Amino acid sequence: MSASDEDKTHDHQHEHDESCDHEEGDDIVTLIDADGNEVDNYWLGLVELDEEQFALLCPVSEMDEDAEATNVYVYHYSEDEDGAESFEAVEDEELLARVQLAAEAMFAEGEEEEA
């Protein structure tokens, strides 16, 4: 997992229901990169850590032919009182490592439930 320069402006479109109860890869989040280009990302999950939320996204262009994420980007995720979403790239390497551990545990738990 890594941070990204994509969302410096926090402009995005995100199509999903109000509860933000996503299924892996079912929703597309469109972020605006530093050059003003729209980048479509699959929503992979939401990790809660230390009372903060982190969105796990993978650019659509980076998914392999088996629908596996080749790169996962981590963003601080929040919603304001009007439901407007905000994505901010995580720059802190230590925080990224902690989010990665929490995400791996979350996905492992999900796989156990499916088995």
* Cα separations in angstroms, 37 against 7, 31, 49: 10, 8, 30
What pLDDT score does 12 carry?
40
Q: Does some domain include residue 68?
A: yes
Q: Does some domain include residue 102?
A: yes
Q: Domain range spanning residue 63?
A: 12-114
What pLDDT score does 99 carry?
96
Number of domains in the chain: 1
Q: Does some domain include residue 44?
A: yes
Full pLDDT tens readout for the chain, 115 residues: 544 444 333 334 443 333 334 444 458 999 998 899 999 999 999 999 999 999 999 999 887 676 676 788 999 999 999 989 999 999 999 999 999 999 999 888 877 777 6
Sheet strands side by side (includes 73-79): 12-14, 28-32, 38-49, 52-59, 73-79, 85-89
* pTM listed for this prediction: 0.71
Q: Does some domain include residue 59?
A: yes
C-alpha span between 94 and 12 (Å, rounded)? 26
Q: Does some domain include residue 1?
A: no
Q: Does some domain include residue 4?
A: no
What pLDDT score does 20 carry?
39
Q: Does some domain include residue 3?
A: no
Q: Does some domain include residue 7?
A: no
What pLDDT score does 7 carry?
38
What pLDDT score does 24 carry?
46
